[in-house]
A and B are shown apart, each in its own frame.
Chain A
């Protein structure tokens, strides 16, 4: 009898405990606090060749920060494929990191969730003021007219990487400055199993970056001035067609690239299988794959005619990583201090050197490390001829819808099916219909 009573008591206790935990699961959705001033959690994006590389780069800096402030930073490097989902989950549950890296193109979308601390004048004041940052980088931190949802951390731009030896062998003296020149050079380079250009046809984001720049060069935009999707104008259709035609019509891209999505095009370039690559800050990645810096040159991405500049002469998106603070952090002061530390001149120099990116902090750019021929191209592009992707709340949906449509067009091109103005327009039409109605 006693054992039965014990079992009954146990059952009741367990039930109560379960009920209690089930009810206690909710979390505060309010603002931040300073309840745990001695620790921070930091989600870093994967910038180096691997997650291990990132840990090696970042850990010494975090130790430095702990020495200065006594705040211990728990580091987690999150791979790109998981980062956005992890942020969404953290937003939904309220259980997230204190400080995190976000792709700068997500700024407006994440800003709309209200999960990130807005950087108003007061908050900017705590990290040395808004003026410390480069304008083009600030242009990719949230919707226009609102306080930025994040501050720039690393800046990147697209550039044309070309294999010097393959160019010399084909008798080409200088890198192409216009798309016509690129196609003409490409026809000389694409032979004997080698191809002129590499790209990632199955990577929606990569497709978007290029399609966006092509659209700019055709004087078109994927969104109207008031933020409505407008994917099917003559300019955007011509832009997407010109991009896909590099494979379909001009045949300077190997058909196999249509299924690339894991940076295989960088490996192909490092191995000398392709002569050109359009990439952001590829130097560190190429070095890790054993390609010497002397073997390749860096030039601005081609334009339709003339030289890179503003308007139709744009030749890159403003690529980069922003640093954001989760609004419901329990260490707001510590998080702000950490942002100040990471955007300080000294740290900016160290980190951007390690990742071969450009510091978005003006005073850090003066360092000699950012005046090499390679970084000068990136720096000039950022300063003169780069435009931020549309800063609208539906940006992530746009990346998926249009990026996937272009993936489908590349699949057609690879299989030898014709890619016409009509088929491009139909694909973009379908993408636009998938966008939220609002």
Chain B
């Protein structure tokens, strides 16, 4: 995203050739300068309507005491100043403590999930770089989890994770005998593992797709030259593939991070309205705080805090990566 912005900047500065002086010419200039903005206006308004207005309303809501008594007429809800935020970040009290716990679970989950997605996706893409019989078929097969509708895919996992008749317990317990007794995957502590499994299964094909596209841009000559110089496969990957993939990886990791951190569908379909504590992701937690307990003010405050955190991470990421790029060039 930054690259396009930087690329466009010089174009804007360019002044129209033959800038005019007289009054007649000036109106002409206003026309010429004004027209692009006029044509941009619908897009701008749509952007406002679709993006900014709901966000602003959400932020306004976070300063109100918007409970079931007021949802019918938002205007009547009393202003609560920073009360919703105070409740959310008071980590000694139950609500704040639960939010912090949920936040930490989400961070751990996101780091693991993004790491595993990236590792699996990159490994698969590197292995699939050479042509061999059935490569197209395998590529298509790998993309299936990404192409499936989320609900259908995750509900299948729910069936597989079931305690009594699930496939996972059948294989792990009945056939391999790895566990003493069938485990619970959808309740209790194992739910974290279940959630991570589904998330990685669902997310790695995207990493695979992007890295595969990135690999196409690395000139073959580099590998040939390296091979002539006696570099092994591992060295080729370390010295050529990974450095060349750097720009791709930077965007990929950021996007995966944001998606995973905000993922609502996977935990909601897996666990329903009330997630087990070990897998209490923040998006579901906020949903529960607002919809299940009907306190939309606190829910909004938590959402705003989440937004701030993600802005911070994204901003930090952009600063770091752009600095790295500048020093490299």
A residues at B contact (CB < 8 Å): 4, 7-8, 11-12, 14-15, 18-19, 22, 29, 85, 88, 91-92, 94, 109, 112-115, 201-202, 204, 254-256, 258-259, 261, 393, 396-397, 400-401, 403-404, 407-408, 410-412, 414-415, 430, 433-434, 436
Contact = CB atoms under 8 A, between A and B. Distances in A.
Contacts of A113: 68-69, 71-72
Contacts of A256: 162-164, 182
Q: Which 4 A-B pairs have the closest CB atoms?
A: A433-B94, A411-B187, A256-B164, A14-B42
B46 A18 contact: yes
A22 B71 contact: no
Given A259-B162, A259-B184, A18 B68 contact: no
B167 interface: no
A201 B164 CA distance: 14
Contacts of B67: 436
Given A400-B288, A404-B274, A408-B277, A434 B95 contact: yes
Task: Summarize A's interface: helix, strand, loop or mixed.
Answer: helix
B72 A92 contact: yes
A229 B272 CA distance: 25
Interface stretch (B107-115, B201-209, B291-299): B291-299
B71 A88 contact: yes
Given A8-B38, A433-B94, A92 B71 contact: yes
13 contacts: A22-B45, A94-B72, A109-B294, A115-B72, A204-B274, A256-B164, A259-B163, A259-B184, A400-B273, A414-B163, A414-B184, A433-B94, A434-B98
A22 B53 contact: yes
Contacts of A404: 274
Contacts of A436: 67, 293, 295
A381 to B, nearest CB: 29
B78 interface: no
A352 to B, nearest CB: 29
Nearest to A398: B293
Contact of A434 (B53, B94, B186, B291): B94
Given A258-B184, A414-B188, A415-B184, A15 B42 contact: yes
A115 B72 CA distance: 7
B71 A261 contact: no
B20 interface: no
Given A19-B45, A433-B93, 6 more contacts: A8-B39, A11-B38, A29-B73, A88-B71, A202-B187, A411-B188
Contacts of B182: 256
Contacts of B288: 400
A199 B73 CA distance: 40
B35 interface: yes
Contacts of B98: 434
B55 interface: no
A94 B72 CA distance: 7
B35 A29 contact: no
A425 to B, nearest CB: 15
B188 A415 contact: yes
Interface string B55-70: 0000000000001110
A85 B93 CA distance: 28
Interface in B252-293: 272-274, 276-277, 288, 291-293
Nearest to A15: B41
Contacts of B188: 411-412, 414-415
B35 A8 contact: yes
A337 to B, nearest CB: 25
B72 A91 contact: yes
B15 to A, nearest CB: 20
B147 interface: no
A255 to B, nearest CB: 7
B33 interface: no
A15 B45 contact: yes
B313 interface: no
Contact of B187 (A204, A396, A414): A414
B308 interface: no
Interface string B14-38: 0000000000000000000001001
A434 B96 CA distance: 10
A324 to B, nearest CB: 14
B42 A258 contact: no
Nearest to B76: A29
Nearest to A400: B292
A94 B273 CA distance: 25
Nearest to A85: B291
B276 A88 contact: no
B49 interface: yes
Interface centre among A94, A113, A410, by most chain B C-beta atoms within 10 angstroms, is A113
A137 B163 CA distance: 38
A415 B95 CA distance: 27
Contacts of A414: 163, 184, 187-188
Contacts of A433: 93-95
Nearest to A261: B272
B35 A91 contact: no
Contacts of B274: 202, 204, 400, 403-404, 407
**Most chain A beta-carbon contacts within 10 A, residue among B93, B188, B291:** B188
A201 B293 CA distance: 20
A390 to B, nearest CB: 15
Contact of A18 (B45, B71, B294): B45
A115 to B, nearest CB: 5
A20 to B, nearest CB: 11
Given A88-B71, A434-B95, A259 B293 contact: no
A22 B38 contact: no
Given A18-B46, A22-B49, A393-B69, A7 B184 contact: no
B189 to A, nearest CB: 8
Contacts of B163: 255-256, 258-259, 414
